[in-house]
Amino acid sequence: MISFKINNIPTLFIKGYTPADTDTIVGFVKKVGEPTGDSVADSVLFIDTPATLHTVAAVRKLKAEGYRVVFKDHHGIEAEPRNEVEKNREIAVSELRKLLGKDCNITVRSLHPACSTLVKVGEFKNALAIIADPDADGLTAAMKAAGLSYPELDEDAAKLDGQPSLQVTGTYISQLLAKGVATLPPTDPRNPASRDKAKSQLFSQWVLAVQGNADALANLKKGEAAYDTAIKLSQELAENAREVAPGVMLVDVMDRLGFDEGTLQVLLEQKPNCKITVVRKGIGPIAALNGVQYSLAVAKSCQPGLDIRDLLPSQFETGPEAGIISNVSFLLHVSQPVWEKQIMPAFKNLK
């Protein structure tokens, strides 16, 4: 969880996955200011924040306090829900639409690859606060809503929110953000605030650089050397990848830091017949609780016909505690027990 002002608007970057997140969101808004009865001045924008039971709870509490809440997101379910996670999300979306009416716009990624396309430049420049997802898509969307933008922002945002292999293919300014994110310090369970602090500095520096701040731009450029080193390490790691099931390429990076996962993924996808890439690592929200995290991604060429969540049972819980995180069809993060008991056996049925 990080927060800073974007164009003078207090902005909180957080995921609404726990009851503690609900309390943090509500507390943040109330600290910013009490409602005045002015619908514009009392507006709280949620953007790129997935609909969960906990975000619904936060919205309900804020509405009860007298704030106007606007919810814009692209994590809607495109087809019939196929598992418990998607069912819960559909319930949350339905609740938000009932609560907010026309102030709720929840669409799907195929129509809006980036959440920045859901707002006009400066549409919420007079809002009380913005709540956004703590990633590049949430940052660019919040920035545009607050009134800061540049001509290629929407296209850049879509790439920044896509597969790691696409994230450094935008304009130069967006590449600096992607490279900065790629070289952030790993999550340390003993000191979880260290990564948040570094990300907050990166995000705030990038916002300044977009506005033409020369010092901020110079600071971002310093990160390019670290990124170049990360590329070389990724190349070394890819050479040690092994096929753990037909079409599934795995590389173990448990004892390695400083590589670029986007580059590593591209190199793994170039292996013959690769359908799914897997990175076994000791960082990430699941690893913070369980020590190990397996991050799976569907190779770009296979994405149209392969939903990686098909590797899981029809009924499954999601979240770091459950050892499963997946918001899209081509990415999945699991714990060691889930990997051994559910994923590896499921590879036998992979087509």
Range name among 172-176, 195-199, 261-265, 298-302 with the lowest pLDDT average: 261-265
* Same domain as 146, residue 18: yes
The residue count of the chain comes to 351
- Domain end among 97, 122, 151: 151
Q: What pLDDT shows up at residue 324? A: 92
Give 92's Cβ-side CA count (13 Å radius). Answer: 26
Each residue's pLDDT tens digit, 207-239: 999 999 999 999 999 888 888 888 999 999 999
Q: What pLDDT shows up at residue 217? A: 96
Q: What pLDDT shows up at residue 118? A: 98
- Domain end among 112, 127, 151: 151
Q: What is the mean pLDDT of the chain?
A: 91
Answer whether residue 201 is part of any domain: no
How confident is residue 258, by pLDDT bands cut at 50, 70 and 90?
confident
In whole angstroms, what separates CA 18 from the centre of its chain?
16
Whole-model pTM?
A: 0.78
Total number of domains constituting the chain: 2
Task: Tell me phi and psi for residue 211, to 5 degrees.
Answer: -85, 0
How confident is residue 188, by pLDDT bands cut at 50, 70 and 90?
low
Stretch 258-270: mean pLDDT: 87
Domain that residue 124 falls in: 2-151
Q: Phi-psi category of 212—alpha, beta or left, where left has phi over 0 and alpha has psi -120 to 50?
A: left
The enclosing H or E element of 85 equals helix 84-100
* Same domain as 26, residue 136: yes
CATH of the domain at 102: 3.90.190
Residue whose tokens read 């060429």: 301
- pLDDT of residue 171 exceeding 90, the answer is yes
Q: Phi-psi category of 213—alpha, beta or left, where left has phi over 0 and alpha has psi -120 to 50?
A: beta
- Domain end among 133, 151, 169: 151
Considering only CA atoms, give the Rg of the chain: 20
Answer whether residue 202 is part of any domain: no
* Same domain as 261, residue 136: no
* Same domain as 145, residue 8: yes
Greater confidence (48 vs 283) lies with: 48
Percent of the chain with pLDDT over 90: 68
Each residue's pLDDT tens digit, 311-332: 998 777 788 888 999 877 889 9
Stretch 39-65: mean pLDDT: 96
Determine the Cα–Cα distance for residues 235 and 291; give it in Å rounded to an integer. 25
Stretch 233-262: mean pLDDT: 90
Each residue's pLDDT tens digit, 336-350: 999 999 999 999 877
Question: Contact 296/331 with Cβ under 8 angstroms?
Answer: yes
Each residue's pLDDT tens digit, 88-141: 889 999 999 999 999 999 999 989 999 999 999 999 999 999 999 999 999 999
- pLDDT of residue 83 exceeding 80, the answer is no
Determine the Cα–Cα distance for residues 287 and 289; give it in Å rounded to an integer. 5
Greater confidence (1 vs 141) lies with: 141
Q: What pLDDT shows up at residue 82? A: 66
* Same domain as 7, residue 147: yes
Q: What pLDDT shows up at residue 183? A: 84
Residue 98 makes CB contacts below 8 A (sequence gap 6+) with none
Greater confidence (85 vs 117) lies with: 117
Stretch 136-163: mean pLDDT: 96
* Same domain as 12, residue 143: yes
- pLDDT of residue 86 exceeding 80, the answer is no
* Same domain as 16, residue 121: yes
